[in-house]
Structures are given as C-alpha cells and as structure tokens.
Amino acid sequence: MIKKSESLRKIASEVIAKEAEALCKLSESIDDNFTQVVELIHGIKGRVVVTGVGKSGIIANKIVATMNSTGTKAQYLHAADAMHGDLGMVGKDDVVVVLSKSGDTVEIKNLVPYVKEIGAPIVAIVSNLDSYLAKNSDYVLYAPVDSEACCCNLAPTVSTTVHLVMGDALAVALEKMNEFTAEDFAKVHPGGTLGEESRKLISL
C-alpha cells in the first residue's frame, strides 16, 4: 500500500513539474505580439469573442468568464455551433480569439474564412506555428507545448494549462489597461465571497 501511495504521489509530482516547466517556456515566449493584442482589444468598439473545440472550448469559456469579471466584455462561441447560426454573434468591431493546440482542427479551419469575411481580427492562441490557424490569423500568441502530461501524450493537459494561463495574462493586462478597480469588481460581483471581499477593499 505504501509503494502504491508513493507511486501515485510520484505521478502527481511529475505532472505538476511538467506543467510548471511548460509555463516557464510560455513566459519566455511572450513578445511584442502580446502587447499588440492587448492594445487591439483595448481599443475595440465591440467585444472579445473566444472560441475553441473540445477541451479548448472549455478553456475558452473560462477565459471569457475571467474577462467579463475584470472589465473586458467577452462572449464564448463554440466553433462547431458557429457554422449553424451562432456566427451571428460576431461583428466587424469584435476581436475573435481562437484557441487550438494543433491549429488544424477541422471546425477551426471551417470557421476562420467566415470570420475573415465578417472583418473581425483573428487572434490565435496556438501551439503549432506551422498550422492553418497560425498562418491565417492576424495575430499569433504562441503557447509552446513539447508534450502532454498524459501517458499516451494525447489527452489535453499541458496544452490546456498553457492556453488558460495565456488567457489569464490577457485578462489581467486588459484589467490594468482599463484601470479596473475593486469598486468596479464589486459592481459585477454583487454576490458571493468575492463580492464581499471587494466591498471590504472599497471600505478600507
């Protein structure tokens, strides 16, 4: 039982170490493209539309939630549903952020030409610079991934972590650009522990 416990703890430590290493590489990959994307989003009249498929879609949803709670209006678009009417939420004054590890997912390749037709700038958060998405986006935020943490190097683990953190970096940079305050936070968090904490900050 002790050996099994030690083995499982070792697996956990290895996964955490691998993802931490990937985040260090992500930090090193931040360049002027990041600055340009933040300035682009900060200046738009519309909103940020974040899209992805599968696990990338789940991460896109979280990025949208973080942006909305920190002063950047955002909306989630499922890449597949976009082809069946949801593309109607995208306008030329929006910015479309597309998450994809491979950059060659069928649903993404189908979606990109229609977004271009609308005229909204496309920002790729992608781990493959040779992909269709990277080559057909207006801005590319490179999220390097050497391999996934799962035993088969298939299940999105490292890739979803680095994409999520890139999204957090965008949200916080925009929060700073928007001069978003604790008072602003309280307005969009009227309930829950976070709302209570933000109101305490205001009263200090």
Please compute the mean of the pLDDT values over residues 51-66 and round it to a whole number: 97
Residue 137's pLDDT is what?
98
Q: Which residue from 46, 26, 24, 28 is spatially nearest to 97, judged by alpha carbons?
A: 46
Residue 101's pLDDT is what?
96
Residue 84: pLDDT over 70: yes
Please compute the mean of the pLDDT values over residues 10-31 and round it to a whole number: 96
Residue 6's pLDDT is what?
75
Q: Which domains does the chain have, with CATH numbers?
A: 2-203 (3.40.50.10490)
pLDDT in tens, 168-204: 999 999 999 999 888 888 888 777 776 677 777 666 5
Considering the entire predicted model, what is its pTM?
A: 0.91
Residue 109: pLDDT over 60: yes
Residue 77: pLDDT over 70: yes
